[in-house]
Structure 1
Amino acid sequence: MKSRRLIGLPVIDEHRGTILGRVIDIIISPRLQVEGLVIGGRGGKRLLLLDHLTIGQDAILVSDLRGLKPVKNGEHPTRIKDRIGLLVVDREGRELGVMSDLVVEPDSKAVQGIEISSGLIKDFIDGRSEVPLERVDNIGQGAMVLNNEEEQT
């Protein structure tokens, strides 16, 4: 599942059936692993930790409300929105495109890979490519370097 698919999903308390809000952002680690979801609703912005949720096709279910924490400014500096558009190059310095999304496995909540956009026309003709997360060697402020172990799919 693409991470952009999570944005906007309703977050529901599975024991009461109450809608707690909607996913408005995704918090990621420096190595692109999902750490939590930011939800917005009547209670303001809150961080939902991954241990306490189930990712469904149409909703996020929360099993334990103790997994909801208030969002503090600067507490989680890396948001998915901060990484979208990051330049992607290979070890020979060839530009492959820009990171356009993360591929998340819903059951384990682990990031499996990154989606690369090579431009509107190429994306339209060939589709966007995905590479496994293992190919990511370095992630900086302005670019991401991939190793050349295998070709893009």
Structure 2
Amino acid sequence: MSILKTVAASRRWGTFLRYAAGSLVATACSEIVLVAGYGLLGLGPQAAALVAWVAGAVPNYLLNRRWAWSGRDRAPAWRELLPYWVITLGTAALAIAATTAADGMVRHAVSDRGERSFLLGVVYLAAYGFVFVIKFVLFDGWVFSARRSSPATATAEGG
């Protein structure tokens, strides 16, 4: 079997694809809220990025937990919730810092707020794109790893 077929047939590949789809939904929510908050509502870059993070973090957690890693039961806070939110808050801090820095750099060069909101949207998206694979590795290997190795999960996944 070729390496490509082996990867495509693996459970982890399916998990990654579901994670990517959930991340796409969360990213769309965040981007819309960021651009609307900054461009239309006049929020500052930090406030817009924070509100955008919240708009994406909630659906992202639910989609990751329930769909990508097939979690239905109540999660112990110390085992799943705490590490998940630490990782997510870390990426939020990166995105907020990046959008704030970008706004500071372009504020005087680009006078149109609509153009600046577009640029902030690009920077915000780039920050999350940068950590996309890193987050998957951390979620799969640390946060949701008990789900992958539990007998109930293996049975539900056909393994």
Does the TM-score normalized on the shorter chain lie above 0.5?
no
| Greater helix fraction, Structure 1 or Structure 2 | 2
| Greater strand fraction, Structure 1 or Structure 2 | 1
Greater relative CO, 1 or 2 (CA 8 Å, sep 6+):
2
Q: Rg bigger for which structure?
A: 2
Q: TM-score, normalised by structure 1?
A: 0.24
Q: TM-score, normalised by structure 2?
A: 0.24
